[in-house]
Structure 1
Amino acid sequence: MKPLLYAFRTVLTGLHLLRTGQVEANLGALNAGARLPFLEDLMTLKRSGREAELLPEPLDV
């Protein structure tokens, strides 16, 4: 799950940089603009210390 969050952080940081010219690496702040509901779920799982578990099925995409 952590590699997935890293990938989203990289993509959303790049998009934010292209749009604003500023680097923002906080995934929560980046998702405020992207509004990806499943990303909030992934961040919640990570914060709960369950990042080593398999992702629950289905993940709302």
Structure 2
Amino acid sequence: MNNYNRNFTGAPFGGVGASGFGRETAAETLREYGYSKNIRLVSGRGQIPRWAPSLEVTGHDE
């Protein structure tokens, strides 16, 4: 509110061509270089509970 010149740190800034420093490192530009990928890892540690186990169910009364 008191700072009129406040900018989002991921916003692109700069000019055109070689003077466009900051445009290549903006968050929206970096997303253009990548793609999303789904990865499923099987760790072999057993089944992960779908809820937080309660102390009564596990028998740990502290």
TM-score between both structures, scaled by the size of structure 2: 0.23
- Whose helix proportion is higher, 1 or 2? 1
Give the number of the structure with larger relative contact order, counting CA–CA contacts within 8 Å between residues 6 or more apart. 1
Structure of higher CA gyration radius: 2
Report the TM-score, using the length of structure 1 for normalisation: 0.24
